[in-house]
Amino acid sequence: MRIRTLVIYITIGFVAAVLALIAVQYMTRRNLEELISANENLLDEYRIGSGLSHQADSISRATLARKMDAVDQSGQRVLRWNLYVIVGVLALLTAVFAIIIGRMKKQAELIGQLNISERKLKEAVLVKENFLANMSHEIRTPLNAILGYTNLLQKKKLDADTRLHISTVQQSGETLLAIVNDILDLSKIESGMMRIEHVPFDPEALVHSVGTMFHHRSAEKQVPLLVHFDPEIPETITGDPTRLTQILVNLVSNAFKFTEKGEVNLRVTVDRIDGGRIDLTFEVKDTGIGIESARLETIFERFRQAEDSTTRQFGGTGLGLSIVRDLVHLQDGRISVTSKPGEGTSVKVTIPYRITAVSERPPVETPASETHPRRPGLRVLIAEDHVINQGLMMRLMEERAIEARLAVNGHEAVEMLRTEPFDLVFMDIQMPGMDGYTATRIIREELKLTIPVVAMTAHAMEGEKEKCVRLGMNDHIAKPVRESELDRIFTSYTTPTSANGSPENAFKVIDLNYMREISNGDTIYEKLVTEQFLHLMPRELEALSAAAGKHDPGEIRRIAHGIKTTISIMGLNALLDEPLDILESETTVATDFASPVEQVLTICKEALGEAGVFYTQFLIPDGRTEG
C-alpha cells in the first residue's frame, strides 16, 4: 500500500479520536450541569426543611432521601459513561494504530520484495549482457580471421573457380556478422542504450552508396535496383546517417530476398518542409512474393516472418524489420507496409531531419586511396592470445612495412614495454593471465607511458569504446578488424617514418610526401628517383651557375625550366617555384638574375645533402645497394 493511503488512515484515526473526546466532554458537561442543578435544589429544600424542622415529618424525610439517591445514581451514571467513552476511544485508537502498523509492516515487506526483484532483474540484465558480450567475442574472434584472410586472398592472383570459392566464404562470413550485429542491436534497443546521432551528412550520397552495395546482388539475381532521389532534397541534412543506412540496407536486402523477377525500387521524396525541418520518405518497393494482409501486423514482431517456412526457404533471423521499426521510432519517424500476395511489397519510412546550415556543413573529403600506405620504421606491439588473429595482424603489419612484435597476454605486453620502445600498442581485452584493462592500467600508472593503446576486441556492446577510453586506452576497434580502421588508427596516432627510422618530414628542405604518394610504398621506385635526383641535380646546378656567370638569359631560362621538373620529386616546388618563375620569365633582365640564381643554388645544394642521407636507407650493411 502506498504511503498516501497510510497518511489517510492516520488522519482518519486521529479525527475520530478528537471527535470522540469532544463528545465525551459534551456529555460529561451536561450530566454535571444536571447534578449541580439537582444539588442546588436539594440544598434549597434542605434549607427550607431546616427552618421548618419542627414541622418536618417522616414523609418529607423519605422524599429527600429518594432525591439524594437519584442524584447519586446520576453521578455514578456519568462516571460510567465517561469510563465507557474513554475505553472506546482507547480501543479505537488502538485499532487504528494496529491497522497502521499492519499496513506499514506489509508496506515494508512489499518494499523488501521489490528490492529483491530489482536485484534479481539487475542480475538477469548483467547475465544477459555478459552472455551477449561473450557470445560476441567468441563469434567475432574466428570471424575476424575468416574475413581478414579472405580479404588477403582476394588480393592474390586467383583463377575464376578459386575466386568464386573465396567470394562465397566472404559472403557467408559477412552474413554471419550481420546476424551477430542484429542480435547486438536488439539488445541495445531493449536496454535503451541505442544512441541516435545528429551529424551533417549528404543524403543523396548515402542513398547511392546503399545502391552500390547491392550492385553485385542485383546482377546476380538479374533484378535491377532503381534509385530515384528527389532533386528538391537539400544537399546536406542533420541526423543519424549510420542508422539510416542500417534501415535502408535492411529494407533493400529484404526486397531482394523475396524478389526473383521484376525490379526493386528505392525512392526518396520530400514529405514535408517546415522552416528548418524536413521530413523525408524512403520507399522500398519490390515485385516479389508479397504478404497476405492478415500477416502484415506480425512482420514487425521479433523472430517472426510472413510465413513459417520463410526461415527455411529464404533464411534470416526475423529480426530485421523489428529492428527497422525500432530505429525509425527512435528517430521520431513512422513506418508503414502495403502488400499484395504475388504482386510485391512496399515499405515506407518517414523520418524528420534538420536542414543543415551552410556554416555547419563538413568539408569535402578526398577519396581514399584503394591501397594502404606503407609505414616503414614504425614499431607496433600486438597483445593477442588467438593464434589465427596473431597471424592475421602480423600479415596486415607486413603489408604496411611495419615492424610488429607479439605478446600472448597482458603480462607479457607489460614486460616488453618495460624494455623495448614501441610507437603503438594494439591491446586485446580478453586474454589469459592478465586482461587488456589491467595491462593498460599498469602501463599508465606504473610504467607512466603515454604510448597510444588501442583496444582491439571482439566486444561490440554499446559503451565498450567509452569504457576503454575511461580505463586509459586511446581508441577502440572492433573485430573483425577492418583495414580502413587500421589505417585510421595509424593516421591518428603515429607519425609516418622512413625505413631508417627517421620521420619522413624531419628534413628541413626536401619533402618526401609527394614521393611516397607516387610510389605507394615501392622502395625500388623511391631508390631510382633518388638516384636520378642525386645524379642530375649537380649537373643542372653547375650549368645554371655557368650560364649566370656568362649572363646568358636564354640558357638560364632553359636550365630553370629543367630544374622545375627535377625538384618536384623531392617536394621542393614550394621553396623554389618563385625564384625559378623569375628565372623563366621573358621580362626578367640580366641584372635581376643574381638573387634568384643564388637562392636556387643554396636550396638545391642543401636538398642534395638531405637526399644523400635519405638514399642511405637503401644501402645494405656490406655497402651494396638493394635491387
Task: Tell me the β-bridge partners of 337.
Answer: 347
Q: What is the pLDDT of residue 361?
A: 64
Beta strands 199-201 and 475-478: pairing type?
A: unpaired
pLDDT higher than threshold 90 for residue 116: no
Strands 424-427 and 453-457: parallel
Q: Which three cell numbers stand for residue 390?
A: 596473431
List the one residue out of 190, 194, 328, 314 whose CA is nearest residue 255.
314
Taking each continuous run of H as one helix and of E as one strand, the counts in the chain are 18, 12
Residue type, 293: S
For residue range 559-599, list pLDDT tens digits in order.
888 887 778 788 888 888 888 888 877 776 666 778 888 88
Grid coordinates given for 415: 614486460
User: pLDDT by residue (tens digit) across 239-277?
Assistant: 988 788 888 888 888 888 888 888 999 999 998 888 889
Amino acid identity of residue 206, one-letter, is: L
| CA-only gyration radius of the chain, Å | 46
Residue 128 has pLDDT above 70, yes or no: no
* Nearest 10 degrees: Cα torsion 132, 134, 138, 140: 50
pLDDT band at residue 550 under the 50/70/90 scheme:
confident
Cβ–Cβ < 8 Å for 193, 125: no
CA–CA gap between residue 44 and residue 433 (Å, rounded): 110
pLDDT at 407 > cutoff 50: yes
Please report which confidence band the pLDDT of residue 215 belongs to, taking 50, 70 and 90 as the band edges: confident
pLDDT value, residue 376: 77
Record the cell numbers describing residue 403, joined without a space.
Answer: 615492424
pLDDT digits (tens, 9 = 90+) for 439-476: 999 999 998 888 999 988 765 555 667 778 888 888 88
Nearby residues of 519 by Cβ (< 8 Å), 6 or more positions away:
525, 526, 529
Has residue 368 got a pLDDT over 50?
A: no
The four Cα atoms 488, 490, 493, 494 give a dihedral, to 10 degrees, of -150
Identify whether the C-beta of residue 225 lies closer than 8 Å to the C-beta of residue 252.
yes
Q: At which residue does the C-alpha cell 434549597 appear?
A: 44
Predicted confidence (pLDDT) at residue 418 exceeds the cutoff of 80: yes
Q: pLDDT at position 623, please?
A: 41
pTM: 0.44
Rounded average pLDDT over 312-330: 67
**Which range, of 44-48, 160-164, 350-354, 452-456, averages the lowest pLDDT?**
44-48
Confidence grade of residue 20 (pLDDT, cut at 50, 70, 90) = low
Beta bridge partners of 277: 274, 354
Query: Residues 523, 529: contact at Cβ < 8 Å?
Result: no
Q: Is the pLDDT of residue 405 over 70?
A: yes
Contact status, residue 570 vs residue 611, Cβ threshold 8 Å: yes
Q: What letter does residue 224 receive in the DSSP assignment?
A: -
The pLDDT value given to residue 18: 66
